[in-house]
Amino acid sequence: MKKKFYVTTPIYYVNAEPHIGHAYTTVLADYMSRLHTLLGYDSYFLTGTDEHGDKIDQAAKTHNTTPQEYADRISGLFRKTWADLGIGFSDFIRTTEKRHVDVVQKILQKVYDAGDIYFGSYGGFYCVGCERFFTEKEMVDGKCPDHDRKLDFIEEKNYFFKMSKYQDWLIGHIEKNPDFIRPERYRNEVMALLKGEVLEDLCISRPKSRLQWGITLPFDQDYVTYVWFDALINYISAIGWPDGEKFKAYWPAVQHIIAKDIVKPHGIFWPTMLKAAGIEPYRNLNVHGYWNMQDAKMSKSLGNVVTPKDLADRYGNDQMRYFFLREMSFGNDAKFSEDVIIDRINFDLANDWGNLVNRTINMLGKFFNGALPAFNTAEAADRDDLVARFRSAAADYIALARRFQTSAGLEKLWEFIRYLNKYIDTLKPWQLAKDNNTALLSSVMRNLLEAIYSIAVLLSPVLVSSSAAIIAALGAEGKPRDTGTLASFTNLDDGRAVGQLGILFPRLEKRVPDAGEAKKSETKKQGEKTMAVGAEGLVDISEFAKIDIRVAKILTAAKVEGSDKLLELRIDSGLDERTIVAGIAKWYGPETLPGKKILLVANLKPATIFKRTSNGMLLAAKAPGDDRPVLIEIDDAIPAGAKLG
């Protein structure tokens, strides 16, 4: 029987059309589902829409329609967007569906019958946008901190869930299962909330006198269910709780993916709700950061929202998927801009991967009339070394990707891709052809084509269309795709005609701003400099506080091929595992660095150095008159992730 994998996105609220924040989460879930299918799992992928609550009721009135009609329209846009992007979900759940409503009412009745829901009175400041009450401590000048709107004081009788009853249980569960919420920074955030204050009980209803648009409580027809005690239950209603075969099969393997703004509902509300209902908690909660545009969170109110379809139409769907999965280091925020996208397409896809595929197939046409040559055992052309490098890259890629560290995982594959381009430059197939060294030339070309096939298979969950085109051109659609077989480098058929692919990833030119835009940009930069540094050359404390300096542990170190100055370091920042590039190779051998604890500037914008992405910078000191950098080493008793300050 196949192992199970169940991945969910949050169900998206239908108060706005889909944007790239939604697209990233959904592409990531789609990728994880495809990857696990490739690895032999029985994978199930759930997404959908959240359709009840105050905001939907108000939005419908604004658009002069009913809440159901409004929800139907926006939910349809989400479904169409995912179809346009080739998202292969297994199910699309809507919270207005009967199958969901029935399960929500069963859960409510079960928890109510157990004595964990009670009726009481509550007064507080309410935000329609957040659909929750705020304490005075949480407000800013009497306003919602997220929406900058004055809050209304509402006092009414409602039903409450005894969430506080399960506080100690949840603390213990997270301590026993440290991977329950990941990355670690978000687990720490939840634990700080749980250990720093007594949980309030959760208000789970709204009176119908104020809100009709919701699921009626099964034990009181005058009230509807509050949004979180409705929306969160989608993860089990879609798979047939309590007795459905899908629930029994997939729930034990569930992986939730969410953005960091909804950590509290998923990290505290949801597990306590499950415990109260007698349901095992989810396997893992995987939390990602925001996409920032011009150093700000993307939002409709700021007018900087880009639609997923715009992005795919402009750059290509495979290119968009690769950018999402490669650019964001999971758990951290990432920068979204046209320049960053174009750099990823040009450097990674066009220069590295596309160039490898195109030059290899072009040489095959020139030297062997486009037919796959047989491998010559007498002239192996370093096949054992290539296989070993592929096995290592594939193992690292899969291990990192399965922990949602897609950026680090893809970099492992790209190290092998870059090595294959170097392999061509070193062995010079054109010279072998000129020298009539057909035996070695045959093996070189066969090694390259076998490696390209194996990489294309591993990349197929990311580059869906182009990988399929490469595999088809190699005549390998029906070949086994398990990792052991891929690493054999014996998958292709001798004499098979290889099809032409053309340019897989055309290089893109960056748009040059006009004079007005350039002047505006320069004025902004000058303003930023003036704000950051005073006339005395002193930095304001508020500016210094923006720098996140942390203790990090070096895991591995390697020289950057082609450079005598650079080392590529894999480090544990306490927040994640990441790669940084440091110019210390002249003074520190790579074998001396693993295990050392250093200081890391953790929130530096990613930089491309020698075709590698550096996600931060280590700190070193220099003595006056001496150019030698000396690493600032930290006592081993201080854990990775400890913050300076």
Contact between residue 318 and residue 465 where contact means Cβ atoms under 8 Å apart: yes
Cα(160)–Cα(13) distance, rounded to whole angstroms? 23
Counting runs of H as helices and runs of E as strands, what totals does the chain give?
23, 26
Q: Name the amino acid, one letter, at 210.
A: R
With a CB cutoff of 8 Å and minimum separation 6, the contacts of 538 are none
Give the residue from 219, 211, 212, 19 showing the smallest Cα distance to 115: 219
Structure tokens at 131: 């659909």
Residue that is written with structure tokens 């269309």 in the block: 465
Q: Name the amino acid, one letter, at 468.
A: A
Structure tokens at 425: 């430059």
Which residue out of 130, 165, 248, 260 is catalytically annotated?
130
Contact between residue 557 and residue 590 where contact means Cβ atoms under 8 Å apart: yes
**Cα three-residue angle 205-258-107, rounded to 5 degrees:** 35
Contact between residue 40 and residue 203 where contact means Cβ atoms under 8 Å apart: no
Cα(117)–Cα(108) distance, rounded to whole angstroms? 8
Q: Is 127 a catalytic residue?
A: yes
Q: Is 173 a catalytic residue?
A: no
Which residue out of 3, 157, 300, 428 is catalytically annotated?
300
Which residue out of 4, 55, 127, 275 is catalytically annotated?
127
Which residue out of 144, 256, 275, 553 is catalytically annotated?
144
Q: Is 22 a catalytic residue?
A: yes
Q: Is 195 a catalytic residue?
A: no
DSSP code at position 192: H
**Cα three-residue angle 70-71-74, rounded to 5 degrees:** 90
Cα(24)–Cα(576) distance, rounded to whole angstroms? 19
> Is the torsion defined by CA of 42, 95, 158, 217 positive or negative?
negative
Cα(283)–Cα(251) distance, rounded to whole angstroms? 8
Give the residue from 125, 143, 130, 404 showing the smallest Cα distance to 261: 130
Residue 574, phi-psi category: left (phi > 0), alpha (psi -120 to 50), beta (remainder): left
Which residue out of 297, 309, 335, 565 is catalytically annotated?
297
Distances (CA, A) of 226 to 37, 118, 525, 576: 36, 14, 46, 35
Cα(322)–Cα(28) distance, rounded to whole angstroms? 10
Cα(209)–Cα(206) distance, rounded to whole angstroms? 8
Q: Which residues pair with residue 297 across a beta bridge?
A: 292
Which residue out of 4, 22, 36, 52 is catalytically annotated?
22
Q: Is 203 a catalytic residue?
A: no
Which residue out of 61, 63, 147, 525 is catalytically annotated?
147
Cα(443)–Cα(372) distance, rounded to whole angstroms? 10
With a CB cutoff of 8 Å and minimum separation 6, the contacts of 613 are 407, 411, 579, 606, 607
Q: Residue 159: phi, psi to the nearest 5?
A: -100, 145
Which residue out of 4, 19, 266, 275 is catalytically annotated?
19
Give the residue from 307, 246, 270, 325 showing the smallest Cα distance to 25: 325
Burial class (CB in 10 A: 0-12, 13-18, 19+), 329: buried
Cα(306)–Cα(313) distance, rounded to whole angstroms? 12
Cα(556)–Cα(291) distance, rounded to whole angstroms? 29
Q: Which helix (H) or strand (E) holds 577?
A: strand 577-582
HSE-up (13 A, CA, CB side) for residue 306: 19
Residues carrying an active site annotation: 19, 22, 127, 130, 144, 147, 297, 300
